[in-house]
Structure 1
């Protein structure tokens, strides 16, 4: 089922809640500039295994409202906290991909991991995001030809071959975002760092990262592993920035094994 939760006056986030009767919840935070729909190939599988899958579109993206402001880690993490409280979630697994991983890290530090029993970071854009050169290129392209920017993102995202229909679907996911939120998060990824947040993570953490990632280098996964206590790093040998799709059977198996260990 899908519904909206108000996170501040006039701003509602879209939440996809699958198998809500289950007490074993996994909350998914998508990457930039996508939506919860990027996790389709997890939502197809995990609920049938008894898990509750909750996909949240952050402000400015997917089906959520698209205000002009609020695109910094504190506000984005606060939005997630409001959703968690509204759903009365306890002892859930928090999964964040790319920028969603960065938001998850800020949530863990700012809200002391409220309700989270385990953390999964997938090709997380942390402790840093985009280089200035890459960010400036994306900003310039987004200002003048956002579909071209999204096509470039799609072309660098995957290591394995993707079909044209899949590429088109993925491309349109990115264009559901507002232009202003797309650009604001590029600036966020360029300017905000998360080094001080990492020591504050106090739950078991699984770090998944494609070794062929051209968006966030694999070296950053090693840095996260070194700086997050009680973390495990699992390299995905045949993935770029999207192991949740490129090696989805392995990804789903490792994710569910990790979640089960917390029960």
Structure 2
């Protein structure tokens, strides 16, 4: 079921809550410039395995409210904390893809991992995000020709072949966002770094990353693995930046196994 949670006056986030009676909860944070719907191929499977799956659209994206400001990692992490508090979540797995991984890292640091039993970083845009050159190109396109930007994002996202209908679906996920929020996140990815956050992560952490990732290089996953204590890195050899779809069977099984391996 879907509903809205107020995170500050005048701003509500859309939350998709699948199988609320599940015995284990996974909170999914999507990547830029998408929405919770990118995890369709997890939501199809994991609830049937007994998991409660919660997908959150960040402010400015998907079905959430789209204020003109509030797109730094601190505010985005605070938004997640507001949802966690509203739903009274505890002992949940926090799984973030790309920029969602960066938000998850800031949440772990800023909120001391409140309620989180396990962390999963999927092609995470960390500890750095976009280079100045990449950010300048995307920012120019976002402000002048966002459809062209989304086409470039889609073309560079996947290693495996995607059909034209899938490509169109993926493009439409990006168009659900506001133009100003799309641009604001580019600036955040350019300017904010997460190196100082990493030593503050103490939860068991699974790092998964496509070795053919053209958006966030695989070397950054290796860097995360070195800097996050109690972490393990699993490469996805047939994926680019979209392993949640490209190797979704492998990812879904690995995620289930990781969560169960860390149960008390």
TM-score (norm 2): 0.99
**Structure 1 residue ranges, 4+ long, deviating more than 6 angstroms after superposition:** none
What CA RMSD, in Å, does the superposition of the two structures yield over aligned residues? 0.5
In the TM superposition, what is the alpha-carbon distance from 1:142 to its structure 2 partner?
1.0
User: Which residue matches 1:56?
Assistant: 56
Runs of 5+ consecutive residues of structure 2 not aligned to the other structure: none
Distance 1:69 1:186 in 2: 13
User: Which residue matches 1:113?
Assistant: 113
Deviation digits for residues 177-217 of structure 1 (CA, Å, limit 9, x no counterpart): 00000000000000000000000000100000000000000
- Does residue 206 (structure 1) correspond to residue 206 (structure 2)? The answer is yes
Q: Give the match's secondary structure for 1:182.
A: helix
User: Which residue matches 1:238?
Assistant: 238
In the TM superposition, what is the alpha-carbon distance from 1:143 to its structure 2 partner?
1.1
Show the 5 A alignment for 1:208-223. Answer: 208-223=208-223
Distance 1:25 1:262 in 2: 13
Distance 1:222 1:38 in 2: 24
In the TM superposition, what is the alpha-carbon distance from 1:70 to its structure 2 partner?
0.2
Distance 1:262 1:60 in 2: 34
Distance 2:202 2:48 in 1: 30
User: Which residue matches 1:65?
Assistant: 65
Distance 1:21 1:221 in 2: 33
Distance 1:262 1:58 in 2: 28
In the TM superposition, what is the alpha-carbon distance from 1:23 to its structure 2 partner?
3.2
Deviation digits for residues 148-184 of structure 1 (CA, Å, limit 9, x no counterpart): 1001000000000000000000000001000000000
Distance 2:129 2:185 in 1: 10
User: Which residue matches 2:41?
Assistant: 41
Deviation digits for residues 1-44 of structure 1 (CA, Å, limit 9, x no counterpart): 00000000010000000000123100000000000000000000
Q: Give the match's secondary structure for 1:77.
A: helix
Runs of 5+ consecutive residues of structure 1 not aligned to the other structure: none
User: Which residue matches 2:79?
Assistant: 79
- Does residue 126 (structure 1) correspond to residue 126 (structure 2)? The answer is yes
In the TM superposition, what is the alpha-carbon distance from 1:261 to its structure 2 partner?
1.5
TM-score (norm 1): 0.99
Q: Give the match's secondary structure for 2:105.
A: helix
User: Which residue matches 2:97?
Assistant: 97
